[in-house]
Amino acid sequence: MSHKNLGIIGGGQLGSMLSVAAKKLNIKTTIYCDDKDAPAQNFCDEFIFGSYRDNEKILEFVKKVDVITYEFENIPFETLNEMNKLKTVLPKPSVNRLIQHRLAEKDFINKLNIRTTRYVSIEKKSDIETLEDFLPGILKTTTMGYDGKGQYPIKKIEDLNLINVDFSKGYILEKLVKLKKEISVIITRFSNNNYEIYEPIENTHEDQILKHSKIPAEISNKILEQSKEWAKQIAEELKYIGTLCVEFFIDRNENLYVNEIAPRVHNSGHLTINAYNVSQFENHVRAVCSFEKIPLKKLSNAKMINLIGNQIKEYRNNTNLNHNEFFFDYLKKEIKEKRKMGHITTLL
């Protein structure tokens, strides 16, 4: 029987769900987060509040745990690297450094001969003026973006005068893909050529924020196989340990593109809690804590709806859920517009 203590950096809903999964495996969780209201403190065994640059606090955290993982990617590389000298950090810090930078991430994917959207590095406003080729496009900060934050749609050069972009940061400009569909593939890798892959999940976004996910995805067999193969190839190349998600675009001509990689559990995989024998969260904990791999079995088709901002309210008082509906409240202190507050999974 294991009595490990798993350190998790980040205290949002993903940290909560990782903690719940760890408990089931008899693993204690200690969460480190720079938000004193972090919702995951309701679910973990111990919570430490501190900045990601506070070396003393971080050392206190590192001493308590046996192995360290993280639930979001925007952690300073130096912080992860220093931690890794004392306790193993998984996925390893170099993976996080690569993926947290949109340019490095896309260069890496292209080197594997995997298609991404067309993109170009932008350092100053005038760079865009010669790049009509990439329009209509989306200008994105190279680091720190999530849920569409730090993104600016640009249809034509003149649009640049209408938006207020801080060019002291780095950007990439991505050509807009004429989307038919978005899917994601979640994979948990345990060691060399030793992994489990969940079937592709079909995702719908509203305002660049995930709204619906469902399995099965309505896609061709070719896309299904290709997306799983690419996810596997990416995880192997990174020598990744843990759960990883690859987000894909499918365009109107049935071309598949990798949009981005998340070096962590992913919102689109929440339905795996109810629809599979082992969830993406449990699998992540299993992989980083060196448990045996269990063959994945799908138990049911499913769909998930994110409850964003005020949408959580009506469900908090709803005692009328059907037996196939599962409501999750992230217990965030404050309801904010565009903030993910909870979700509902329905088994189909």
Residue labelled with tokens 């593109």? 257
Smallest distance, ligand ADP to C-beta of residue 217, A: 14
Residue 305: CB minimum distance to ligand ADP, A = 16
Provide the binding-site residues for ligand ADP, judged by CB under 6 A.
117, 138, 145-148, 174, 176-177, 179, 182, 205, 208, 247, 259-260
Q: Considering beta carbons, is residue 104 or 347 the nearer one to ligand ADP?
A: 104
Binder of residue 76, out of Mg ion, ligand ADP, none (CB less than 5 to 8 A by kind): none
Strand partners, 154: 137
Question: Minimum CB separation from ligand ADP for residue 9, in Å?
Answer: 18
Taking the least distance from each CB to Mg ion, the nearer of 79 and 259 is 259
Which residues of this chain interact with Mg ion, rule CB under 5 A?
247
Question: Rounded distance, CA 323 to CA 169, Å?
Answer: 49
In the complex, least distance from residue 316 CB atom to ligand ADP, rounded to whole angstroms: 27
| Strands of 198-241, DSSP E | 201-206, 209-215
3-state secondary structure at position 7: strand
**Which partner from the list ligand ADP, Mg ion, none does 146 bind, CB cut-off 5 to 8 Å by kind?**
ligand ADP
Task: Give buried/exposed letters for 208-246 (b at 16+ CB in 10 A, else e).
Answer: ebbeebbbebebeeebbebbbebbbebbeebebbbbbbb
Shortest spacing between CB 66 and ligand ADP, in angstroms: 31
E strands present in the chain? 5-9, 28-33, 46-49, 67-70, 88-89, 119-122, 137-141, 151-154, 171-175, 179-191, 194-197, 201-206, 209-215, 242-251, 256-262, 302-308, 325-329, 340-347
Q: Is 114 helix (H, G, I), strand (E, B) or coil?
A: coil
In the complex, least distance from residue 276 CB atom to ligand ADP, rounded to whole angstroms: 23
Residue 147 binding partner per list Mg ion, ligand ADP, none, with a CB distance cut-off of 5 to 8 Å that depends on partner kind:
ligand ADP
Residue 174 partner contact from ligand ADP, Mg ion, none using kind-dependent CB cut-offs of 5 to 8 Å: ligand ADP
Phi, psi dihedral angles at 113 (to 5 degrees): 65, 30
Using alpha carbons, list the distances in angstroms from residue 171 to 102, 147, 233.
9, 16, 27
Q: Which is nearer to ligand ADP, 79 or 117 (CB)?
A: 117
Give SS3 for 327: strand
Q: Which does 177 bind (CB under 5 to 8 A by kind): ligand ADP, Mg ion, none?
A: ligand ADP
Distance CA 140, CA 161 (A): 16
| Residue 176 partner contact from ligand ADP, Mg ion, none using kind-dependent CB cut-offs of 5 to 8 Å | ligand ADP
- Decide whether 87 or 175 has the Cβ nearer to ligand ADP: 175
Q: Looking at beta carbons only, is 48 or 261 nearer to ligand ADP?
A: 261
Among ligand ADP, Mg ion, none, residue 144 binds (CB under 5-8 Å by kind) = none
Closest to ligand ADP by CB, 260 vs 282, is 260
Length of the chain (residues): 348
Q: 3-class DSSP state for residue 22? A: helix
CB of 209 to ligand ADP, least distance (A): 8
CB of 147 to Mg ion, least distance (A): 8
Of 188 and 213, which has the nearer Cβ to ligand ADP? 213
Closer to Mg ion at the Cβ: 73 or 282? 73
Q: Among ligand ADP, Mg ion, none, what does residue 148 contact (CB within 5–8 Å per kind)?
A: ligand ADP
Show the tokens assigned to 324: 């196939």
